[in-house]
Homo-oligomer: A and B are copies of this chain.
Amino acid sequence: MEADTPRVEEYLESIYKLQQDQYPVSTSRLAEHLKLSAPSVSEMVKKLANRGLLSHTEKGVCLTEEGKSIAKKVIRRHRLSERLLTDVLGYRWDEVHDEACRLEHAISSEMEERISESLGNPRTCPHGHPIPDKDGVLVKENVKSLSELKASDRGIIVSVFEEDPRMLKYMASLGLIPDVCVRVEEVAPFGGPMIVCVSGSRYALGREVASRIKVK
Contact = CB atoms under 8 A, between A and B. Distances in A.
A107 to B, nearest CB: 8
A90 B99 CA distance: 22
A106 interface: yes
B106 A118 contact: no
Copies of this polypeptide in the complex: 2
Contacts of A108: 99, 102
A60 B99 CA distance: 37
A197 interface: no
A99 B115 CA distance: 13
Interface residues of A, number: 17
B103 A90 contact: no
Interface string A97-113: 00100110111101100
Nearest to A91: B114
A14 B177 CA distance: 44
A89 interface: yes
A1 interface: no
Contacts of A105: 106
A89 B115 contact: yes
Interface string A129-140: 000000000000
A90 B102 contact: no
14 contacts: A85-B114, A88-B118, A89-B115, A89-B118, A90-B114, A90-B118, A99-B108, A102-B106, A102-B107, A102-B108, A103-B106, A103-B107, A105-B106, A106-B106
Interface of A: 85, 88-91, 99, 102-103, 105-108, 110-111, 114-115, 118
Task: For the complex of A and B, list the 4 residue pairs with the smallest distance between their C-beta atoms, beginning with the closest.
Answer: A106-B106, A102-B106, A89-B114, A103-B106
